[in-house]
Structure formats: structure tokens, C-alpha cells
Amino acid sequence: MSYKFISILFLCIILELSFSASFMIADELKFGESFEKQPNIFVTLVDGVKGNAGQFDGRAYANIRVNKKTEYLTVEMYFNSENVETSGVEVSDWRPLTNSGNWTTGDFQLILREGKASVHIHNGNTERIKLYSDKLKNNTWYQLKLIMDAKEHSATLFLNNKKVDSAKLNPLISYFSVGTAAIANGNHKTFKGLIDEITFTLKPFQDIVTNDPRNITQGIEITHHELYADQPLIVVTPKGTWVCCLTVAPGGEGSRGQHVVAVRSTDGGKTWGEVINIETGHDGGGYVMPLVTPSGRIYGFYNPPHGGEKQPKTNEIQGYFCYKYSDDDGQTWSKRYWIPIRRSAWDLQQEAIDTKKGIWCWGIAKPIIESNDVFFPFAITDGVDGKGAGWIAHSNNILTENNPNKIHWEILPEGRKGIYNPAFEPTQEEHCLLSMNQKDAFVCVYRTRLGFPSISYSKDRCLSWSLPEKMTYANGRIIRHPRACPMIWKCENGKYLFWGHNNSHKSFENRNPVWVSGGIERNGKIYWSQPEILLYADDPKLRMSYPDLIEDNGEYWISETEKELPRIHKIDKTLLNAIWNRVENDLDGKKNPVSKLGLILETSQQNVSFPKTGTEFHDGLTIDMKIDSKGLSAGEILLDNRNENKNGFAVTVGENGTFRFEMNGDDVRGNRQEISWTSDISQLNGSIQRISVIVDNNPRIISFFVDGQINDGNGKRDIGWGRFWLAPKNLSENNTLKIHSSIKQLRIYNRPLHGYEL
């Protein structure tokens, strides 16, 4: 995590909150007008869970006032206390978080007392609600989440993503502070320890957002008890047990105590058992990749721990992967075994800089079985931000040899460079590997930090590889993707799926939403469909990644994590079949049928009456126009049903050959909302064109399609689709729809179409 600040994140745009200072600052802690101060208060910045944390000295505190009452509140924070295990109110009765010093209805306090975290909520009159955590440890980071909902009359407390207590509730919340408590008698009991990443979220939009299965909150949580949980890769054993292997840590990624674990499900992922250590927190290790053999043995391959047994280096061996196995469906694990890794140009380069550093390598994809052989990909780099390449570990006898000491391994391809294109430096890492339908053919996809993933093919069972290229859609357009895991899967039907993020940001960020493309193999190459939204989170800053695909009993499931909470999601087969069918039809030159579902207006006339029914804005809308763009210029209005108050929607011609969509009106609570988005530049080409606008109200995404192709920035901007917060409740308050003469055919839907329907 690259953030270097303590953050208190308010959804100010949604809630119209106002405050004059915040903790969202870099490298220093500043107090503004809204922070209370005392003489000689000292707050320092130290390493935290997500960048810097505030170290409170037992006297310091700061208040933030939010002049808003709400029936919904979610509070999340990380804290680390020095003496939380100590008994006795005088010593350990610290308040790391409270929302009032007056202690009136709706107020709450987080108290560390007698070794536990407890939340006290004023529920009116003399009634108090108290929620308690499990026992805590000194000098240990904890993630606390408190969810309060006055409409549902509920309060729920989570610790490290585990529900620990709940109660009935009926207060209104109005005032928040951090780092102190002003108790009723005027004395302050302040917190001594570390506080990081506090988030207050008021959720009034939940009453209009449906239970969309694409929302990650609809997934099933996979058990873990640490702050960090990554790379949930799952195998299904011959007995039907799902075994999920994870990398976890008590702090952030790479923190002390990081190790690998397994979690089992015996009911197809519906519920998950307790965590089983593959390695303990003392030994470390990370990024485990599981393999299940036909006999039922499970192997877990992972980065070697920062300790334990030391393996010898030679002129040809620079480092090792290690692995363990389980013969009882993941309940117990063997001792450690080793895979020697041949020297590469990248570790030699690193060694020339620092002889004390070992090899830097890791993998993120499950091993694959092809013709009784096993292959798994990994990257070797000269540092976390350094140059590197991809490699394949190959065994020709692991499926038949039960003695780990007799398993044969080789590293492919031969030579020092690996799977690598010098034009794509500096970052070439996180490789995914699949065998193809064509005999002896393999495909490898990996991430760069140039705004696209790279793809390479092998025709000789990984012995040699083509020069990696930019990954493209079937029509040749570049697939846009940030520095994030670009996972590919081959399904049992011989077709392919690609997990991506449809933007060309160069950083680790912007992994929300997740988009999926379907792949069809033709003549030794995979042709990819246009992307569709697969999963999303309400918070744009959440970063879902490191997924896995599970096929079981004819159903599709995908796991993911945003580095803290791993989940599993059942995926709609209809969506997957549709994107496969669309790319096949495109390759075969077949026309796509016009959808009638949700169609509320279809016309080729100018100035028509707008429908009076079916115009409520629930899931979204689609405007699909066939236009003659010859002679159009900036400022011309193509489509307009706005009334005298500018409520309604419009499509106009913008500058630089763009199209613009805007929609205004009151939302379900009577607040005016204005949403808009502009297409990529140079979309208007002076010919007959099909221009489509899709407004998806669940992930709150606006997308432009031109001639059936989604706008993705086209290399001119990092992102081609836009976000909005809340939408008007109706598509129109005007009976008349004005249609420009350039529009030859118009269709309007009261739902967001999928891209494959255009």
C-alpha cells in the first residue's frame, strides 16, 4: 500500500457534509479549526497498517464535527494499544473513538477495558447498549467495524472482519471525534497507542440500490482472522471439499507474521471452517498456489519463509520455491520441501547491487495439469519496482510420484531472460498460464505498468515463447488494464475468461469495478470479447484482485479479495455464455439480434411523445442511436427531453469530436441530482454511426459505445467510462422528446443493456 497518510474518509459529495480539517494529509499531522487542542499535546506519525499511523501519547486528541444526523452509520478503524491486556478501569479504560462528550441519545464510545474492545451506545432515556469483542493482545493491530442502522434497529460489531456481537438499536448519530472521549463529568480519558485509517460512512443510498449480485457485499466471506488476507485460490478435491489457500498477516502485506493458511468448505463454498496454518506466523512465507492431484493430494507452492531452513546457493541456483502437501483434504500439512530456481538475468542484476539480498520471486496463479505434467508460472524481478520476467516451473512426475524427494523439477524456458519483452520494461510480473486446445500450445498473460496486459504464446510445451505483445480484443483494439493481476482461466468447455479492470492507469490503484471478457480459441490464438462489469464495490477506492475461478456441478464461482476480506461469488452462467456467443458471432460475421427487453421507445421520427409508464429510474437506462454524423458540430443537441427546470436527459455534441450525456432531476429523497459523462475524443467521424449510452445505476457507471465498441480512453485518457453517485428517480418529467434530424433510428430502454447486446 503506497498511501502515506492517516485518512478519515467522509462521503462528502453524497452527504453534503462540511468540515474545515481532516486527517487526509501526507507526512505530517496538522490540526485545523475544527480540531480541539490542549497545550503540550504531541502526536507523532509512525508506520501503520496503511501508510502512516497517528501515535497518541495519552493526552492528545482531536475532534471533528459533522453537522448531520443519520439513521445509517458504518465506522471502520485500525487501532493498536500498548496495555490493552491490563485489568482495571484506571489503567486501561481508554477511548480511541467517541462521537460526543455530552452522552445523549445516539452517541457511542469505543472503550478498551479489561482486555476487550467494547462499544457503548446511548439508546435513549437510561438505556445503554454494550457490544463486546473477544480478548485483545498488547501491541497488536486490530480492525474494528461498527455498523448501526436505526431503520433496522440493529448494531453489529466486527473485529478483523469477524462478527463478534450485535444488539437491537434505535438512535440517531450526529457527532464524531477521534483520539479522545469527553465524558459527562468533563474529564478526558484519552487513548494511548496507534490509530490508522478511520472511515465514517453514512449510507442513505442503500434504499435505492438493489441486491445486485455483482456487488461484492453479496458474496460469501471466506474465514480468516487477520487484517491482511490475499490471493484466495481454491481447489476442489475428489471428495468434493473446497480448500482455499490464503496469504494472511496481522498487519499489512509483507508485515511481520505474514504466513500461508488453508480454509475448508464441505458444502460447496456456502460456509467455511476454521483457519488451518500451512505455515505459522513465526515462519512467514506467502502467495501460496494450490494444486489438487487426481489422487486427492493437495500441494501448496509458495514463497520461502524469511527464516527456517536455509537452502544452499550455487553458481546456477539463486533461490527456491517451497511447498508442502496434504493427504487429508487440507486438514494437516507435511514438512517443507524445495524447488530450486535457476539463476536469471534479474537476480544477477540484483545481486550485483546488493549481495545480501536473495531472489525476488512470486506467483499468483494455480498450477495447471496438462498430459500428466504440472506447470505453474512465477515472476523473477530485481526488486518490487524493478525489471523482471516470467518463468514456468515444470514437473513431469509429481502426479505419479508420492515421495517428494523424488519429484523432478525444471525451470522453463531455457536461458537467462524468461518470458520478456524489452519494450515493456520496467514491470513484467504476475504471470498466468493456461494450456490451450491446440496440442502442446500454451498461453501466458501478465501485468505491466504501461496501461495494458501482455500476452505470449508457446507452441512447444513452454520450452520457448513468442515475443510478448499487447493484449487485444478480437477487433484488434488494445485491452486497457492497470498494474493489477490480469487473470485468465480456461473453462471446462474449452473457452476462456479474462479478469481485468478496463482502464489504463499505471499504478496499483483503480481495480474497481472488475470487468470480464470471454475468449474463443481460433488457429492457436485467443480472441477476446468486449468487457462486461463482473463485480464492483460501492467504495471506488476498494481494490478487488487476485481472483480464482471454480467450476463445480455445472456452476461458476469466482473468489476475490481487496487485501482484507476474501469472498466467493456465484457467477451468472447467462452472462458468460452471452459473451462467448457474441465474440463467436463477431468472428463469424453474424449480426447481433436487437433486444426487446426493457425497450420503452423505438422510433425513426423527430419530436415524439415520451412514454408515461416504465420511466422510473431503477436499474438504469440505455440510449441507442443510429445517426448520420456528417456535418455535426460542437453544441448541437441530438436528443432532449428536459423541461423548463432542466430536469430530464439530453445527448449533445461536444468539443473534439465527442458526445455528451447529461441527466438531471430529483432523487427518491427529493434532492436534486445532476449526472453527466463525455465520450472519448474523436468519436464523431462524419459517417453513419451507432452511438449508445449505458447508465448502470447499481455500480453507478456511465459508458459510451460507438459502433458496438466500448469507450476505454483510447490511449488519450486513462479511463473511458464515468462514475456518478445518485441518480434522478425518473427518466423524464417532460412529455416531449426532441430528436435531431441526424438521428435515423432511436431506441430507449429502461434498463442498462450489456455491451454484448449492442
Q: What mean pLDDT is predicted for residues 609-633? A: 86
Quote the CA–CA distance of 270 and 293 in Å, as a whole number. 24
Pairing of strands 192-201, 8-9: parallel
Q: How many helices (H) and strands (E) does the chain have?
A: 4, 53
Within 10 angstroms of residue 556's Cβ, the number of other Cβ atoms is 19
Between 681 and 112, residue with greater pLDDT? 681
**In contact, 530 and 517? CB cutoff 8 Å:** yes
Q: How confident is the model at residue 280 (pLDDT cuts 50, 70, 90)?
A: confident
Quote the CA–CA distance of 483 and 447 in Å, as a whole number. 6
**In contact, 96 and 53? CB cutoff 8 Å:** no
Q: Is the pLDDT of residue 323 over 70?
A: yes
pLDDT tens for each residue of 408-437: 999 999 988 899 999 998 899 999 999 999
pLDDT at 555: 95
- Please state, for a pLDDT cut of 90, what percent of the chain lies above it: 52
Which burial class, exposed, middle or buried, applies to 428 when counting CB atoms under 10 A from its CB (0-12, 13-18, 19+)?
buried
pLDDT at 50: 58
pLDDT at 31: 27
pLDDT at 241: 97
Q: Which of 100, 123, 119 is nearest to 175 (CA)?
A: 100
pLDDT at 670: 67
Q: What mean pLDDT is predicted for residues 388-407? A: 96
pLDDT tens for each residue of 119-148: 888 776 677 888 888 888 887 888 888 887
Q: Of the ranges 33-37, 230-234, 587-591, which one carries the lowest mean pLDDT score?
A: 33-37
388, β-bridge pairs: 381
Q: How confident is the model at residue 563 (pLDDT cuts 50, 70, 90)?
A: very high
Quote the CA–CA distance of 531 and 18 in Å, as a whole number. 38
Q: Which of 380, 381, 466 is nearest to 421 (CA)?
A: 466
Q: Is the pLDDT of residue 202 over 80?
A: no
Q: What mean pLDDT is predicted for residues 572-577? A: 95
- Please state, for a pLDDT cut of 70, what percent of the chain lies above it: 76
Between 471 and 55, residue with greater pLDDT? 471
Quote the CA–CA distance of 327 and 435 in Å, as a whole number. 26
8, β-bridge pairs: 198
Instruction: Write down the H helix ranges in 33-177.
Output: 89-92
Q: Is the pLDDT of residue 197 over 60?
A: yes
Residue 309 has which C-alpha cell? Answer: 531452513
Task: List phi, psi (to 5°) of 725.
Answer: -100, -65
State which amino acid sits at residue 24. Answer: M
| Radius of gyration from C-alpha coordinates of the chain | 28
**b/e map 732-744, b = 16+ CB within 10 Å:** bbbeebbbbebbe
Q: How confident is the model at residue 67 (pLDDT cuts 50, 70, 90)?
A: very low
Whether the bond into 513 is cis, omega within 30 of 0 = yes
Q: How confident is the model at residue 315 (pLDDT cuts 50, 70, 90)?
A: low
**Most confident region among 158-167, 178-187, 542-551 by mean pLDDT:** 542-551
pLDDT at 308: 44
Q: How confident is the model at residue 11 (pLDDT cuts 50, 70, 90)?
A: very low
Whether the bond into 404 is cis, omega within 30 of 0 = no
pLDDT tens for each residue of 227-243: 899 999 999 999 999 99
pLDDT tens for each residue of 593-606: 999 999 999 999 88
Q: What mean pLDDT is predicted for residues 507-535? A: 96
Q: Is the pLDDT of residue 80 over 60?
A: yes
Terminal-to-terminal C-alpha distance of the chain: 39
325, β-bridge pairs: 299
Look-up: residue for cell 496469504? 247
Quote the CA–CA distance of 694 and 720 in Å, as a whole number. 13
pLDDT tens for each residue of 348-364: 665 544 444 556 789 99
Q: Of the ranges 190-204, 325-339, 653-667, which one carries the lowest mean pLDDT score?
A: 190-204
**In contact, 78 and 141? CB cutoff 8 Å:** yes
Residue 375 has which C-alpha cell? Answer: 506447470
Look-up: residue for cell 478501569? 89
Quote the CA–CA distance of 326 and 359 in Å, as a whole number. 27
Pairing of strands 142-149, 154-159: antiparallel
Q: What mean pLDDT is predicted for residues 617-632? A: 91
Residue 579 φ/ψ region, left for φ over 0, alpha for ψ in the -120 to 50 degree band, beta for the rest? alpha
Look-up: residue for cell 473453462? 491
Q: What mean pLDDT is predicted for residues 638-655? A: 91
Between 40 and 588, residue with greater pLDDT? 588
Residue 656 has which C-alpha cell? Answer: 473534439
Average pLDDT, the chain: 81
Q: What mean pLDDT is predicted for residues 689-697? A: 95
Quote the CA–CA distance of 509 and 719 in Å, as a whole number. 12
Q: How confident is the model at residue 76 (pLDDT cuts 50, 70, 90)?
A: confident
Q: Of the ranges 13-22, 100-109, 237-246, 482-491, which one carries the lowest mean pLDDT score?
A: 13-22
Q: Which of 740, 683, 743, 752 is nearest to 711 (CA)?
A: 683
Quote the CA–CA distance of 403 and 420 in Å, as a whole number. 34
**In contact, 177 and 660? CB cutoff 8 Å:** no
- HSE-up of residue 392 (Cα within 13 Å, Cβ side): 32
Residue 125 has which C-alpha cell? Answer: 432515556
Q: How confident is the model at residue 10 (pLDDT cuts 50, 70, 90)?
A: very low
Q: Is the pLDDT of residue 395 over 70?
A: yes
pLDDT at 711: 96
- What Å distances lie between residue 165 and 76, 131, 160, 168, CA to CA? 15, 6, 13, 11
Whether the bond into 377 is cis, omega within 30 of 0 = no
Name residues whose C-beta falls within 8 Å of residue 670's C-beta, 6 or more positions apart in sequence: none
Between 51 and 65, residue with greater pLDDT? 51
Q: H/E/C letters for each residue in 684-751? A: CCCCEEEEEEEEECCCCEEEEEECCEECCCCCCCCCCCEECCCCCCECCCCCEEEECCCEEEEEEECC
pLDDT at 609: 86
Q: Of the ranges 33-42, 421-430, 676-685, 689-698, which one carries the lowest mean pLDDT score?
A: 33-42
Q: Is the pLDDT of residue 61 over 90?
A: no
E strands present in 575-616: 599-603, 608-609
pLDDT at 408: 97
- What Å distances lie between residue 49 and 164, 446, 521, CA to CA? 22, 28, 44
Q: What mean pLDDT is predicted for residues 726-755? A: 87
**In contact, 354 and 331? CB cutoff 8 Å:** no
